[in-house]
Structure 1
Amino acid sequence: MKFIKLSLAAVAAFSLFSFTTACDENTMNQMENNRMNNMMNENNMENQSQQKDVPARIGYYMKIKNALVADDFQATRDAAKIMVKNDKEFATMANAIASSSDLVEQRKNFKKLSAAIYKDVNDNEINTTLYWNWCPMAMGGEGANWLSMQEKIQNPYMGQKMPGCGSVKETLKK
């Protein structure tokens, strides 16, 4: 009887650990999505007349990044189309992603967008912490950078094949 109780306790503990570990990744993604949506909503209400809408731009960018992390071609295309519609300054680069024929091409165009957004963030004030990440294996070993709202690496260039590949190179906070 003791063995059965001990076995049941071990199974329950393992199940709880597995559940919390699986939920942790979803919780982190949900928290990042909530931060992006809050940034876009707050800034749209406060600064509708401003031409440069950096927080909204970061939100559009993060939706593209997250879709690439998930290896989701259609979600990447859809997120880029939203950026095309709402961000005239970066519409050309976002359109290159939206009109790409596959994930490889989307990622090549995302590299260009990442460099431009990084420069824009450094030239303007932001009210959040961003991480400038680097993956040496991206682009066939050429390497590539991207921005993230969380310190944990979620690589948009390697996708689900190697989501944790890379490292934080710079923490941006203005």
Structure 2
Amino acid sequence: MRKDIEQALEKFKVNTFGNKKIIEKVEALLRADEQVLYISPTNVVVTAVNTNKKNKLPGVFVLTDNRILFHYKIAFDESTDTSDLSKIDSINCFGNGLTGGHVEVHTRTKTYDILVSYKKALMNEIKNTFEEAINNYTQNKVSGNKESDTDILQQIEKLAELRNKDILTEEEFQEKKQVLMARL
């Protein structure tokens, strides 16, 4: 089992009894470059936003530093829902000792109501982990775009040098510059 999965299971005190095989299946769906921040075998109520149709599904819900992933199997039907963190609109949590704790993840197309620990402190920690992951993802995307803007400007400067050395014509320079400027 991946180290990040073990750490997430331990951090959130997730019981894996009887669920090792499905966790291994989910592990195979993960990319090597993503880090698991939360994982739990649980029941999830998936609601389609446009139809309000609800499905209660048993499976494994995963939060990574890039996306959410819900893998479920009912009889012979097996499927995986994924969504980039940029597509998450909001996170809510609620619950009590009788019905258990819930974390709701609202995307543009679906709402995932995840059954979690009934302990309020743990439920809030899960919610905070989701919010922190979304914020980090957003900040990394913004800073990543600035780096690519700098790269594009450097490419234009190199093209200008080639033009000044008569390696490129003015026409070729303007054409390539327009292509690069469109990517900004």
TM range (shorter): under 0.3
TM-score by length of 2: 0.26
Q: Of Structure 1 and Structure 2, which has the larger fraction of its residues in strand?
A: 2
Higher relative contact order (CA 8 A, sep 6+): 1
The structure with the larger Rg is 2
Name the one with the larger helix percent: 1
